[in-house]
Structure 1
Amino acid sequence: MFTHAHGPYILAAERPRRSPGRWLLFTALWLTLLLPLAAAQARPDAQQPTLKFGLLPFASPVALFERFAPLRDYLNVQLGTQFVLETARDFSVHVQRIETGDYHLLLTAPHFVPIALDSGHYELLAAYKEDLSTVYLVGRDDPAADLSALAGRRIGTPPPEALITLVGEDHLLKVLGDQAPAPTFVPFPSHNAAIHAIASGLVDAAAVSINVARLDINRGVPVRILDETPQFPGVGILARKDLAEPLREALRETLISMTDREDGSDVLRVMIYAGYKAASAEDYEPFRAILPRARQYLSPVSTEP
């Protein structure tokens, strides 16, 4: 027998013989004890329900999932939940899913918050910490000096029912007045698509969210901000009312406190995101006036994904 710092090594010739029957009995007893323990350890995850975190389709699905995956992971770690990200083909499907309560956690546009509240399925948790605005972008080398240069030109926008589009169109037409040639608004599936249409020559300018514009400019897209609209409240985050009240309150607190925590601030830094603040339904009441116009652009109810 040789010795080692961690104990003796027993040579094969020195090992005591074991009865095969005795060994099988020992193995059976061991498995009897081990398997229930393993099952018990796996049971919490198996029983943890999958919760849908629905995202407003303001960008491509890839861009949305890349940006919000850190937030999903943060919530799951902090709260022990199993949120998965989902988005919709377009705003029409997004609104349909809101009205049927399809999402457990919902990030949606300011003018869709009243729709979510009126559905009876949702409770407002928080709002984006910074107000939003529509910005007007032109090519980096475009000589335009102010909004008057956009008269008669092609303006790319997100879908026509997007709040950014509605506000952007109204503001630009008001600035140009009745005497100037009217611009042509060209809708695209997303803010990113409208921005990239400038470089491809499909449009002369774009009216998009200031947040998406900043991200694309930071990524090197050759555009610049020409002007912007007055600010308005940002996106809202809502939870379905049938989630347990302690979970809804934990979600609210976790979202609002992200900027006060080191790990939460790290997540927001990765997302290039300002964070969330407390909000009330009254903050979004002014958007009810724009809803009839927005609904004109929404497609009829569809069963397609």
Structure 2
Amino acid sequence: MAVFLMLAGAWLPLSGVASAQASGLTPYRFGVLPLQSPNKLASMFLPLTKVLEDRLHRPVQFVTAPSFTVFMQRVAQREYDMVYLNPLLCGEAQKSGYHVIAKIAGEPFTGILVVRRDSHITGLAAPQLQPGLRLGFPDPGAFAATVMTRRYLESIGIPVDKDFEVKYFGSQDSVLMALYSGLVDIAGTWKPSLRSMPKHIQQSLRIIAETPPQPQMPIAVRDDMPAGDAKTVADVLVELRDTPAGRQILHGMNLPQGFVHSEDSQYAKVSR
């Protein structure tokens, strides 16, 4: 079982710290946007960082942050060597010298609106959306869950801040638990987070709307990473789906489709 150290709002595996000290090399810091709880993100990404360590011959530490805002402050300060983040925030990372090397493959990147299975709400037609309904989002900076679903509702003539009581819960897990617990009537999220919830929660919820797609979640590296290491990181990500061990890692990340190579130009038109 992995043991973790809480340090400056990020969870680090103690084994990674020890590895860095033993090797004498400065570890690469893999920053993961706090889409879900630190423990869940650690369980998802630590197996990947171990593979990256083995291929790079250098320690790789999983790190995250207590909020989207803090995460992006650290990106602006170039504290991470590689980052996993959403398409909207990718533009901000590029301004700080990060370059896209890969993205999630296959499944379109969309936001979804979810209700409890026993809710009377089955769609977005006006008669079902009575004034004062509680609409939950994970974080104002969550692209699929918040920005895209807000944009979609506005595009079909539903003014979000006028028609709903809007609440923020910090993470995808938290907003889905709020919906399941009855604290909100509708939640904005995205499919990988819904799939990552326990089965009994998934079965208690249902999707009522899905937004048009945007480019998928990217992984970017800082511009001072040696080109050979950047290529290795991209190759490791793309090759995960080619082996049983790699597919097991992807399954644990709720990304069975894996990754494909990508580049900055694919995110040039993503905007708020």
* Match of residue 231, structure 1, among 198, 207, 213: 213
Aligned to 2:260: 277
- Equivalents in 2 of 1:267, 1:43: separation in Å? 23
Quote the offset at 1:173 in angstroms.
Answer: 2.9
2:163 to 163, 182, 201: 182
User: Are 2:103 and 1:127 aligned?
Assistant: yes
Cα deviation code 1:123-171 (max 9, x no counterpart): 2110111321111111121122212234421111111122120110121
Q: What amino acid is aligned across from residue 282 of structure 1 in structure 2?
A: S
Shift of 1:177: 4.1
1:241-274 deviation digits (Å, cap 9, x = unpaired): 2222211111111111221233322221232212
Q: Secondary structure at the match of 1:103?
A: coil
Per the normalisation by structure 1, the TM-score is 0.74
Letter of the 1:229 counterpart = T
Residue number in structure 1 paired with 2:7: none
Cα distance between partner residues in 2 of 1:95 and 1:150: 34
Alpha-carbon distance, 1:54 to partner = 0.3
Which residue of the other structure, out of 43, 61, 66, is the alignment partner of 1:66?
Answer: 43
For structure 2, the 5+ residue unaligned runs are 1-18
Q: How far apart are the structure 2 equivalents of 1:125 and 1:82?
A: 20
- The equivalences for 1:290-305 within 5 A come to 290=272
Which has the higher Rg, Structure 1 or Structure 2? 1
Q: Which AA in structure 1 matches 2:242?
A: D
- What count of residue pairs does the alignment treat as equivalent? 245
| Conservation of the 8 A alpha-carbon contact between 1:75 and 1:254 | yes
> Which residue in 1 is equivalent to 2:94?
117
1:265 corresponds to: 247
Q: Note the C-alpha offset of 1:240.
A: 1.6
Instruction: Tell me the distance in 2 between the aligned counterparts of 1:199 and 1:134.
Output: 18
Deviation at 1:219, TM superposition (A): 5.4
Matched, 1:254 2:236: yes
Whether 1:286 and 2:269 are equivalent positions in the alignment is yes
Q: Following TM superposition, by how much is the alpha carbon of 1:47 offset from its aligned partner in structure 2, in angstroms?
A: 2.1
Q: Does 1:208 align with 2:189?
A: yes
2:84 counterpart of 1:99: no
Aligned-residue offset at 1:225: 1.4
Contact 1:217 1:224 in 2 (8 A): no
Aligned to 2:224: 242
- Counterpart amino acid of residue 138 in structure 2: P
Structure 2 partner of 1:24: none
Percent of aligned positions that are identical: 26
Partner of 1:170: 151
State whether residues 192 and 254 of structure 2, in contact with CA within 8 Å, keep that contact through their aligned partners in structure 1: no
Asked whether 1:83 is paired with 2:32, we answer: no
Which of 192, 196, 204 is equivalent to 2:177?
Answer: 196
Scaled by the length of structure 2, the TM-score of the pair is: 0.83
C-alpha deviation, 1:174, in angstroms = 2.6
Deviation at 1:43, TM superposition (A): 11
How many angstroms apart in 2 are the aligned matches of 1:115 and 1:61?
Answer: 23
Aligned residue identity for 2:264: A
The answer to which structure has the higher helix fraction is: 1
Letter in 2 for 1:125: I
Would the aligned equivalents of 1:188 and 1:194 in 2 still touch at CA under 8 Å? yes
| Shift in alpha-carbon separation, 1:210–1:162, aligned structure 2, 3 A | same
